[in-house]
Structure 1
Amino acid sequence: MSIFKPLIRFADFRGRSDRSELLQFLMLSLTLLLSVAYLWGMGWGLADGLRGAPPRSPAPVAQYLGLLLLLPALSLSIRRLHDIDRSGWWLLLNLVPGGIAVLIVFLLQDGGVGDNRFGPPQPTAQAGGATASA
């Protein structure tokens, strides 16, 4: 599975996504955010240090990157909820105090084995490069 699959399917709210796709996307997002913050700090910190100005915060760049990753994260979360046979409307639990804990448990649950109302499970790669439905 490609680590960039959630970015390729950024506006696909139908179907299902497995837990490994979610975890790979979280690792990619974290790596991108930390890399951008580090490079911003190094670049502007050096430039500001040479001018004698206080260093700038990487917050604006991290916010833009967060906005860029918002739609892929939303679609992946909905597909992940579909994998455990729940509607995407469960994401509204983010608006309830303590609801994010329930969502984390939902998103980290193992997906259904067979078909559900949202479609067949996502194909998984087998040893030898062939794909088959799990």
Structure 2
Amino acid sequence: MNFQQAVATCFAKYVDFSGRASRSEYWWFFLAYLVLAIVGSFIHQYVYFIVVLAFILPMLAAGARRLHDIGKSGWWLLIGIIPLVGLVLLYFTVQPSSPESNEYGPPPVA
């Protein structure tokens, strides 16, 4: 999945917390968020705030789908609230996709 496909897919599924998201889909979308947040913060704090608001639901949904891809529940996202322990999420999101179907559906098309 390339950058444009990942961003389009994540915004199209902005409240879809079911299914699975590949590593490339999640990380390309995260890169889009990071770049736009940095650029928005240089422009004005209101622009930054609008970027964060626009990305919060799609980012949560993509994170839940990414966790589903490795066989974890989307509720694991809540561990990010705890300082330092939330680094476990980084470990989870860099794991390779499980090649077989799991309880969350078939493997995503990479």
TM over 0.5: yes
Matched letter for residue 36 of structure 1: G
Structure 1 unaligned residues grouped into runs of 5+? 41-57, 125-134
In angstroms, what is the RMSD of aligned CA positions?
Answer: 1.4
Does the 8 A contact of 2:23 with 2:66 survive in 1? yes
TM-score under structure 1 normalisation?
0.73
Runs ≥4 residues deviating over 2 A? 33-38
Candidates 111, 119, 123, aligned match of 2:97: 111
Corresponding residue SS for 1:12:
coil
- Aligned AA for 1:98? L
Report the counterpart of residue 121 of structure 1 in structure 2: 107
The structure with the largest helix share of the pair is 2
Question: In 2, Cα distance between the equivalents of 1:13 and 1:88?
Answer: 8
Q: Does 1:11 align with 2:15?
A: yes
1:86 partner amino acid: K
- Compute the displacement of 1:64 (Å): 1.9
Q: Number of aligned pairs? A: 106
Identity of aligned residues (%): 35
Letter in 2 for 1:9: K
Distance 2:57 2:65 in 1: 12
Counterpart mapping for 1:42-61 below 5 A:
58-61=44-47
